[in-house]
Structure 1
Amino acid sequence: MANLSHRNRVGIESDRVTDVSSTDFPGYVPGEDAAWDLEKFKQTFKIKISHLTNMTSTFDLIGVDASIANAFRRILISEIPTLAIEYVYIQNNTSIIQDEVLAHRLGLIPLKANPDHMRWFKKGDPNVEPTDYDTVVLNLSAKCTANAAAPAGATDPKVLYHNAHIYSSAITFEPQGRQPEWFPEGVLPVNPDILIAKLRPGQEIDLTMHCILGIGQDHAKFSPVATASYRLLPTIDIVGAPITGELATKFKKCFPKGVVEINAQGEAYVKDARKDTVSREVLRHPEFEGRVKLGRERNHFIFSIESTGAMAPDELFIKSVQILKKKCQILRDVELRKLKA
């Protein structure tokens, strides 16, 4: 089987990008078998995790087409179910924030909760009552009062008053039915320091919130990621004679820190191409014309996930794979039924 590695690179020119289209399909080159093969895919496909925390993750996705990488990105943003505040029942709100604005602010607070035990709530059906299987209840009750022990001359509202600032930490979880079993740590905001409202003596907020399952396709508040993105792995090739002396120093300055270094012989070399932002600054200088070739690997994606905190980023990616797999199974079943018809 022919090696396609020499054609697996996107060219970066000073005024254009070349070789964008994929070439790994049958019939592109006469006499070359580029048909997709499962065993070959197993050998070339790789995932390399370079950074992982509870909130962010960066990993290399190697050996897939851009359409697959983009499918994961879109699923992460808009198709993974999460819990979010959907209904706000306001018993009392005498703050300066209007009811609808307050409800909107509450809805955008990300909640840390595993949604796997929950079922979909049938919105719009007046005959459906909330249950512990489809609705999580949260409460918020706070009243601002003057601090009689405040020192004379104090001007800080947090010193002068009790509950001058209402944060997301004031939200409490009211478990229903089997929810203590499903959510042993409760359902609470990811960050306890999100400012909801500022109150002054006599002002009060008292409300109940119902959280249901949703996806980012319906509203951004249901999206489990703050961002999910990818970029192709940059490539930098020094061609011809080595770049030395003052040119080496100038060459190094054309790239972000850590991309190019100078060795003991005074020659510039590429230390870490993945740090490059592909600014093409080096192509602006005539002295480097024909001495450097920029590109990107077409099937090597540097994937980044920044979670809202509802779920860990590695868990989110696994869920995106499961959703894509389910979509493929549905499509396969539909096509099989067409063939049998």
Structure 2
Amino acid sequence: MTSPKRATSSFAWPSDDHIMYVYAAAVYSNNARKGGGVYDKMNEQEQHDCDNVQHILESYHYVKKQSFVDVMRQDRAQVFLDSGAFSAYTLGVELKVSEYCAYIKRNIDLIRKEDGVLIASVLDGIGDPLETYKNQQEMEARGVTPLPCFHAGEDERYLELYVRKYPYITLGGMVGSSNKQLQIWLDRVWDRYLVDGSGRPKLKVHGFGITSIPIMERYPWWSCDSSSWVQTAAFGAIMHPLYGNINISENNPAKHDLGEHVNTLSPQEKEFVCNMLLEQGYSYERLSTCYQSRFAYNLWAYGEMERNLSAKPEVFKDAVQELF
């Protein structure tokens, strides 16, 4: 069973039928698109599902290499561009605002736009909201208006400013936090700053690095992204859009635990899983031995999750507006 290609949204805001965009992060930089080495090792079904990934996020830190630019241009890419500042910071690499702006201007045709808004994030200052704000101002002075970013734990006066001034903002600094920790913080910022009295969003909000379905479902995000499709495949599992992660690789250590791996399910359960995969265009044998196949399956699953999430109401139901 193959996934049909879906039409691009008109990006009307607000919209009762908005598709919540789930961006697959680092598709080009993991060579899983036409022209990449991983893509070349996929079969026809797998390539089809990679070709039909509608929403891709890439980090400037990685795709600033001309080889990636060439592949994206050949593929007529329209990506959400993240600065990749956190990755660069952890590797001790300095990213310069001037070079980031020059890259955006040079490759403006590869960057997604929605209602005239450039979908490229600010070069954020890691652990320094003032530096992030200064970078926002400098980028605008250089002729590039990026999406501002507010990180968990920062002074909320910056968030207030971004909400007043911009139609589309991003929330970051959430990777590594538990769902319980995230919910406490997100409940606060959504309720206090991001929704009106009816729980409807005041503006478009993107969540960086969100992998939890409950967190995706709880808030009226306009978009979010995750690279978990890569990690899950690398650790020998696939991401089923309804049943969650399924351990399937022959090298996955869960193969020794009863009920934790396809091979340790009951015969009836294993038959059900294998038949389900065949209906989706995939074979157990290939998924269990080939990470390229797991890459493609997980990218297909992102599209299915996006479709499922888009059916949820576009309100924050638990919002309780403060009177004072």
Range class of TM-score, shorter chain: under 0.3
Structure number with higher helix proportion: 2
Q: Which has the higher contact order (CA 8 A, sep 6+)?
A: 1
TM-score, scaled relative to structure 2: 0.25
TM-score (norm 1): 0.24
